[in-house]
Amino acid sequence: MTTTDSRAATGAQTVFPTGFRWGVATAGHQVEGDNVNSDVWFLEHLEGTIFAEPSGDAIDHYHRFADDIALIADLGFDTYRFSLEWARIEPEPGRFSSAAIEHYRRMMLACEANGVTPAVTFHHFVSPRWLLAAGGWEDAGTPDRFARYCDVVTERLGEHLGAAFTLNEPNLPFLLSAMGVVDGSPEARAHAPMWVAAGKALGIDPRRVAPFQFTASQEGYATKLAAHHAGRDAIKAHRPDLLVGWTLANSDIQAAPGGEGRADAVREAVNERFLLDTRGDDVVGIQTYGRTVFDADGLAPAPEDAVVNTMGEEIYPRGIETTVREAWRIAQVPVWVTENGLATDDDTQRVAYFDAAVSAVAECLADGIDVRGYTAWSAFDNFEWVFGYRPHFGLIEVERATQQRTPKPSAYRLGEIARTNGAALQG
């Protein structure tokens, strides 16, 4: 049954247009396992690491992708956003692995066989270890290195791409720095144990250890922006018709009394600056999980009566409406919700969260905003970076001892919304 047919069968009304993409997302390092040539694997195993645990086998998506993609399709989703692992494809500078490229071709073919569009992220936080040794995301040579990688991949796999995103959340370290969670400056790395250990292992000054996910310097900003432009141009050279952009971690930034100036400054540095840089792209991916509130003292705690997720953060699904409207107003390009979700062990909370968030996106569409898709984070419970495996964002539970997959009620609920192109929200 086509989307149009299913909408007619329900008799319900929806503002979601024909062709609206409904999907789930993953990142390669978080699900594939054994990404041993990567900078993140390297950091996970250092003395003094800030990672709660190593990624290890993850959920073995590298070998189980065919069944996983079939399950995603069976649940009702027509789009799968996943990332390529640069460290697998180019394990040494200028040496590209045909085996790794063919692996990702098989993933895209599995998507096509199941009627699923592959929306591919070329860089989702993780780089080859050799790039880190060369100065990472503060080195002037990184944009050209990234463009070379994008060029080779698109030349080999471009015919299978349904959409392309160059970089995932280049602005996240700036948000985390503003929140006081991490200090992304080179000076902060000089004495911190993990960075000192990394510099020693790589044979470089720890201030030059600049991984994508933790770099919030002016040099990092300039490098990421140049890499995005160079990567975008390399992809478009092979596929000028392809929808290409990047994805941004844009929280709904709000002010409590006394925090107006701070909130305005963070919003400009984290959201608005990167949205202005998006002008000229085909699309911008917006990734929002809630709101970030600043008061006179800095980051404000969650309200006393707030319901919180397993990370202690307020559950606030309406944040996506603010950030989509902000993106449309400033970037002036179509918007795609490329991540949105909730870390919780109570799946009834996740069901309610998705209902509220998707309804908020519908309101944006009703007001004439060009939103191309809604992609939930995450398809599976997986490795959540420095937090390890404790947070559960997945629509599909994974028992890691056996790697058994079990869809949660939220998977069926959001899948029903997807199959009916939003009409199920009316029932």
Amino acid at 207: R
Residues in the chain: 427
- For the question of residue 32 being annotated catalytic, the response is no
Tell me if residue 119 falls in helix, strand or coil. strand
Q: Would you call the peptide bond into 359 cis, given omega within 30 degrees of 0 as the criterion?
A: no
The stretches of 39-85 forming alpha helices (DSSP H) are 39-44, 61-75
| Per-residue DSSP letter, 158 | G
Q: 32, 85, 169, 326: which is the annotated catalytic residue?
A: 169
188 to 23, 50, 217, 414, 416: CA distances (angstroms): 38, 14, 11, 42, 47
Burial (CB count within 10 angstroms: exposed 0-12, middle 13-18, buried 19+), residue 427? exposed
Shortest CA distance to 67 belongs to which of 389, 380, 392, 414?
Answer: 380
23: enclosing H helix or E strand: strand 21-25
133 to 129, 191, 242, 343, 415: CA distances (angstroms): 7, 18, 33, 33, 43
| 8 Å CB contact between 121 and 157 | no
Instruction: Show which residues are catalytic.
Output: 169
